[in-house]
Amino acid sequence: MTLEQCLAEQIVAPGPIIELTRTPSPYHSSFAIENLKVILGDSKELDIIFKNVGKDGLLREAIQVKPEFIYDPLREIRVYNSILADAGLDTALCYGSVADTARGRYWLFLEMVRGVELYQVGDLSVWERAAAWLARLHRVKVSPEIETALPRASMRSTRDAFPALMASRCETSPPRKSLPHEAWHQQLHLRLGRGCGRSRACTSPRRARLARQSG
């Protein structure tokens, strides 16, 4: 599916795209993000966020630190299409998506929302409203049908996921000299691990590597 087809399905742009400009975004997640300037046949302009959530869109830094078992290119696509679309949370509109397993192509086309990043705001009341919005997001009910369709895409901080992530960090942490404050981080991680229902902890060498990574 092309971007033109995606926009037509959303009844955003039933006409052709006559000009498309792509520029790298100054922001990113684990994946590459581009800003698209789209000019339509009726001279209407759209600013679109293009996010490549396929393997070829993963940044090198993310590949080095992100465990393979949490990678699922359909996660964001399904969340936008199946959950956020009808959640009433005023999230960015999803103009369309591409999920082509044969080509390994997983794309998201999202509305570009203008605003000031939260970290630049010093007004506590704005942070409180953002926290309240986040609480509403966590209360969104997902139907059993959608939950079944998201076996890996609905990755959460479960009893199984958290210890697995901790173990992965233990194995991938590069060795370096431990710093005095890192013992506190070590104890915190161990308590969090136990809180997830796992009493199994890293062995001594792994425990030391975990402390080093936490700093």
How far apart CA 110 and CA 97 sit, in angstroms, is 9
Q: Which amino acid is at 139?
A: R
Q: What's the pLDDT score for residue 180?
A: 55
Torsions phi, psi of 55, nearest 5? -60, -35
Q: What's the pLDDT score for residue 121?
A: 92
Q: What's the pLDDT score for residue 208?
A: 41
pLDDT, tens digit only, all 215 positions of the chain:
778 777 777 766 566 888 999 999 988 888 889 999 998 888 888 899 999 998 888 888 777 777 777 788 888 898 888 888 888 888 998 988 999 989 989 999 999 988 888 989 999 999 999 999 999 988 888 877 777 766 554 445 455 555 666 666 555 555 555 555 555 555 555 555 555 544 444 444 444 443 344 44
Reduce the DSSP state of residue 38 to 3 states and report it: strand
Ramachandran assignment for 203, one of left (phi > 0), alpha (psi -120 to 50 degrees), beta (any other): beta
Q: CATH number of 3-113+133-149: 1.10.1420, 3.30.450, 3.40.50, 3.30.200?
A: 3.30.200
The boundaries of every CATH 3.30.200 domain in the chain are: 3-113+133-149
Q: What's the pLDDT score for residue 7?
A: 79
Is pTM beyond 0.85 here? no
Q: What's the pLDDT score for residue 200?
A: 42
CA torsion sign for 156, 159, 162, 168 is: negative
- What are the tokens at 8? 């037509």
Residues 5, 96: contact at Cβ < 8 Å?
yes
Instruction: Give me the residue label for tokens 């929302």.
Output: 113
Instruction: Give me the residue label for tokens 């742009």.
Output: 13
**CA nearest neighbour of 195 among 203, 187, 204:** 187
